[in-house]
Structure formats: structure tokens, C-alpha cells
Structure 1
Amino acid sequence: MTNSERSNLEPLAQQAAMLEAVQQLVAVVAKLRSPDGGCPWDLAQTPESLIPYVIEEAYETVEAIQSGDPVAIREELGDLLLQVVLQAQIASDANQFNLTEVAQGISEKLIRRHPHVFSTVTVETMDDVYRNWEQIKAIEKGEDPNIAPPLSKKLSRYARSLPPLMAGMKISRKAAEVGFEWESIDGVWAKFQEELTEFKEALATTDKTHQEAELGDLLFTVINLARWYDLDPSAALQGTNQRFIQRLEQMEAVADRSLSDYSLEQLEQLWQQAKARLRGEG
């Protein structure tokens, strides 16, 4: 066998192994969902009950990617793939659709939305790709690609489909693009002070709905501040969460009893010590 023949066989062997592995996963999930000897937990699941797991696995996949650890990335991608296969199996059990249709649908969409790769359309820049993509999406939805859809329709999609912080940033940016924007950062800070005052006033009442509304307004203004300073609020909050846990770990490492047995003053002292140690390690 020549080197050329061997190199042609290797991709085919890899493809066969990949398809076999996917088929095995599908068979495993089908067995878990089988009324005859399946797993009671898997049988009890619905598309809605699995939503928290879909979100959790997506975030854990992101964390693994950020870590740069190939082993962790591979494992988390597997967990995320399981959620796709499990959702498709539940739908198949209900005679709605199956994994084959899911894969075919996304393949057809990718081919349709990349005419510069799979057809004769020519593009020069990424902006050309984006414009073509948006026009094709509009046609798919029965819309006129030459008429921009109402901004509110686009923003509603972000609010429905994205985590709140991410949606807030998207909504803020898109609104700014059409001119719904402060003239300077001073205006954003003034709005922040206004919303902070209104939130404090709401807290003086007993109306929870009003309190949450004012808290939402305040948080949205903070998101706008982040946008003006070119900061990522999701990454910022994630970093704060991680630092809080790291400091708590440091506190527990030196504590000689449960943290609940310490006074507030003692906990504050442990907290400051933990911060100092972490700064030294940094």
C-alpha cells in the first residue's frame, strides 16, 4: 500500500470510528429510556425537566474551554452532547423528531447559509459573510431581506434565549447602534445614581414586584456602564464568584472549627487574611 493510499484510508477509518461512537451513544441513551429495563430517572425526564442540565453543561463546557485542559474539554463536550442526544430521544419517543433529523436539519442550514463555500457566491470580507447570513435568515423566516425587522423583535429574541446578563449587554448594544444612547459617560453615571435612588425608595415599600423592577433597572444601568467601559459583566461576575470561593477556601483552611461558630468580627478578620494571602500568591 502506497503512502497516498494509506493517507486516504486514515480519514475514512476515523470517520467510521466517529460514526460508531455516536451510534453507541444513541443506543445507550435509547436503552436508558427503554420501558423494558431502562433507568427510572431517565424515563421520568421531559424536555422541560432537562433545561437546567442543558444550561449547566453548557456553562461547564465553557469553563473547560477557558481552562485550556483538553481532557476536561473532551469530557464536558461529551456531557453536552448527551443532552442533545437525550432531548432527541425523548422527542423520538413522542414521535416528534429524531437525532437524524436534527443532524440533517443543521447540515442543510449550514449549507444554505454558506453559499460562498457550497455554491458560487463570492465574498471578500467577514462583513460580506454576515450580510449574506442575515439575508438568508430573513428569507427563511418569510421576511423581506431588504427591510430590517423591528428592533423590538430582535431584542425580544435575545431576552428569551440568552442568560440575563448576556441578554442585557446585547440589548444595550443593539439599542445604542440605532442611536438610543447617552451622549457621554456622564449621562450613564447620572442614570445610575437615579436608578440607585429609585431602588432605595422601592425598598422602603412592601411591594416586591416594584422592588424587583427597580433592581432590574439598576442592574441594566450597570450593564450599560460596563458597555461604555468595554467590560464584560458576565466575566466580571464570574470572576467575583470565583474569588469569593477562593477566599472562603482560604478561611476554611485555617479555621479550627466550623465557620458558623465564629463571630462576624472573627469572620471578617479571616476574610481579610484570606484576601492578603491570595494577593501574595498572585
Structure 2
Amino acid sequence: MSESSHNQRENDTLNALQELIDVVAKLRSPDGGCPWDLAQTPQSLTPYILEEAYEVVDAIATGDPKAIADELGDLLLQVVLQAQIASESQQFSLADVAAGITEKLIRRHPHVFADVKVDSVEEVHENWEAIKDKEAENHQDSQSLSAKLNRYSRQLPPLIAAMKLSKKTAAVGFEWDNIEGVWDKFHEELAEFEEALHHEDKAQQQAELGDILFVLVNLARWYDIDPHEALRETNHKFIRRFSMVEAACDRPLADYTLAELDVLWDRAKAIIKEQGN
């Protein structure tokens, strides 16, 4: 790419971003803006941030560039909206957001922007974590590991948070001696769950189920399996099989017996297996 083409591309990017900023500002303007946008708060927009982030992940899984670009745009809108609302009360601006992440990237990549030498991806990760820990020393509520774990629990989806908690505590020695210990713990928790189902109230049953799920996350960590992706793929697999069952039905599903549906389900499983999926 020539220098002129590169400069033109940069200008196009900056112009497109500025146009988005201007549109969002207009939507939030008390003078002719959109009533819905004007009614939004950072809190009311939170569900949309989560929704759009997951839609980006789904688009990336499809590999469709147009879908990815479209969903990234929706997510970018949420960033610009949050910054616009904050700027209206002089809290921070989109420029502050961009400057902050730029400074952080430079600080956390001394092997690129300074004279630190690294020989592997693992070293990069270790340096990144060490720099993060040093940054955390400036925040009173982040000095202890338990405070960090609490933050992960608040900020991440439960399954991802469980893996994070498991990894962080294992790194400081809070760990089983071997995989057999993890399996023993799983069977112990499974027995306690079964006992709760027969003799305890709903709250205790839920607590025991949570214990099982947490041990399963630890098993996944020991076997280097991503439980979040594993469950996501299982959800997709279930939907694909169910759609084949639904397509094979010539009357409402409720009119079929469970035995009949099981036959259709097994047939769908066999077809997918033959297809290698």
C-alpha cells in the first residue's frame, strides 16, 4: 500500500468515526434528538453491551466478514453512547477512553514500545500479568487476591468467572495434587447434590449444583478444555439435532410420544455423525 493510499484510508477511518460520534450526539441532543436515546442511562444500556458482545462472538464463529463488521458496529455504538452520556456530565469523553487504552497498551507491551526482550508468547503473558499486578497496587480494593476474585465474579459470566477463579487460585498453590483428587471431589459433590435433591430445600439444591459445576470447571482446566466453548458448541449441536427432528415431523411435536421423538433424535444424531459433524 502506497503512503497516499495509507493516508487516505486513515482519513476515511477518522471521518467515519467522527460521523458516528456526531450522529450519536444528535440522537442525545435535547434539541431535536431521539426520545428513546435521551431516556437511556449507562445502567439501562448495560444489557445491550452484553447482547452486542455475544453477537460479535457469534458472527466471528460464522466467519462471515459482513456479519462481523455489522456486529462490531453495533458494539462500537455502545462504546460511543456510553462516552457521549458521560461527556454530557463532564465525567469523561471518547477521547479519554481512546487515550486511556492506548496508554495501557503501550505500558503493557514493553517488548514492543521499550527495550524489554521476550522469547515466547508465554513470556509476553507473564510480563502482562506482572504489569497488571503492579498497576493494581495503586488501587486499594485490588491489593488482595480475594478482592481480584470478587471482581472477576462480578464482571464476568459465571462459567468464565469460575475458570478465572480456578486458574488464579491454582497459581498460588490452592490446588489438588493430581487429577484423581479432582475426580474424587466431583463424585463427592455429585453425592451431596443427590442427597440435597431428596432431603434439602431448593436453595440448598441450587448450592450443591453450583458446587458440581465449579468442580467440572476445574476438571476442564486440568484437561485444558474451555468449558465456555464446550457448552456453546453443545448448545449449537442440540439445536441442530432438534431442528432435524422438527423437520422430520408431519404433525405438532406435542402429538408425538417421547419414544417416537427419541427415534427421530437418534436418527438425527446418526445423520450428523455420518456427515462428520
TM-score bin, normalised by smaller chain: 0.7 to 0.9
Match of 2:10 in 1: 15
Distance 1:260 1:124 in 2: 61
Where do 1:177-256 residues align within 5 Å?
A: 177-205=171-199, 207-256=201-250
Where structure 2 has 5 or more consecutive residues not aligned to the other structure, the ranges are none
1:53 aligns with 2:48: yes
Q: TM-score, normalised by structure 2?
A: 0.88
Match of 2:118 in 1: 124
Match of 2:271 in 1: 277
For 2:263, give the aligned amino acid: Q
Match of 1:3 in 2: none
Deviations 1:57-103 (A, max 9, x none): 21221222233222222112111111111111222233322212111
Q: TM-score, normalised by structure 1?
A: 0.86
Distance 2:82 2:252 in 1: 42
Deviations 1:100-128 (A, max 9, x none): 21112212222333344334x33233455
- State, as a whole percentage, how many aligned pairs show the same letter: 59
Match of 1:160 in 2: 154
- CA separation of 1:138/1:19 partners in 2, compared to 1, >3 Å: closer, same or farther? same
- CA separation of 1:53/1:263 partners in 2, compared to 1, >3 Å: closer, same or farther? same
For 2:192, give the aligned amino acid: E
- CA separation of 1:240/1:261 partners in 2, compared to 1, >3 Å: closer, same or farther? same
Distance 2:9 2:163 in 1: 41
RMSD: 2.4
For 2:49, give the aligned amino acid: V
Distance 1:193 1:129 in 2: 38
Q: Is the 8 A contact 2:111 2:118 kept in 1?
A: no
For 1:156, give the aligned amino acid: N
Match of 1:99 in 2: 94
Q: Is the 8 A contact 1:60 1:76 kept in 2?
A: yes
Q: Is the 8 A contact 1:113 1:133 kept in 2?
A: yes
Distance 2:218 2:168 in 1: 12
Match of 2:20 in 1: 25
4+ residue runs of structure 1 moved beyond 6 angstroms? none
Where structure 1 has 5 or more consecutive residues not aligned to the other structure, the ranges are 1-5
Stretch of structure 1 that moved more, 129-138 or 157-166: 129-138
Q: CA deviation at 1:155?
A: 2.2
